[in-house]
Amino acid sequence: MKFLTVAATSILAATASAAAILPRDNVFEVSNFYANCVQHSVMCNYQFSVLYPATGETIPVNCSATLSSIDGTLPPVTDGDCLLSSRTFDVARNDDGLLLTVKNPVSPSTNITGVYEIPAEQLVVEQSGASQAEKYVGPKEFGLAYAS
């Protein structure tokens, strides 16, 4: 009996430990991610498709935003549009790069939210004469982790 108690305790501890180090499931899957500022212009674009697999969704929703930037860097986005959907997205700049957030309303006061950190190494600034334009050069497909 003592052996069973020790074995059960060891199994529970190992399971709890493994759960603590496993990554959380992605709530959204992004494909065709594209972000750039146009050379010799003030316009910048974000464009991607997003899928919410937990709902059984099989056709991704297209999201996009076109904004202006006075210095050629990718600007922040607040409540970017996702076509034919109540889903929205935000992009915020931080010291580490950009933070992409996708929100899907489930009630008037609750959202399912996924986040993805775009590291600064995946953002490059191209110089063309007196003009500079930042663009994203990272993976086109990635998952957004659940944000509580």
Q: Does the residue 65 lie in any domain?
A: yes
Name the token pair of 13: 């501890």
**Structural domains counted in the chain:** 1
Q: Does the residue 2 lie in any domain?
A: no
C-alpha–C-alpha distance, residues 26 and 46, integer Å: 21
Neighbours of 130 (CB within 10 A): 6
Q: Which domain holds residue 103?
A: 24-146
Strand 123-128 vs strand 26-37: parallel, antiparallel, or unpaired? Answer: unpaired
Q: Does the residue 13 lie in any domain?
A: no
The CATH code of the domain that includes 88 is 2.40.350.20
- 3-state DSSP assignment of residue 130: coil
pTM for this one? 0.81
Per-residue pLDDT of the chain (148 residues; tens, 9 = 90+): 554 444 444 444 444 444 444 455 899 999 999 999 998 899 999 999 999 999 999 999 999 999 999 999 999 999 999 999 999 999 999 999 999 999 999 999 999 999 999 999 999 999 888 889 999 999 999 999 999 7
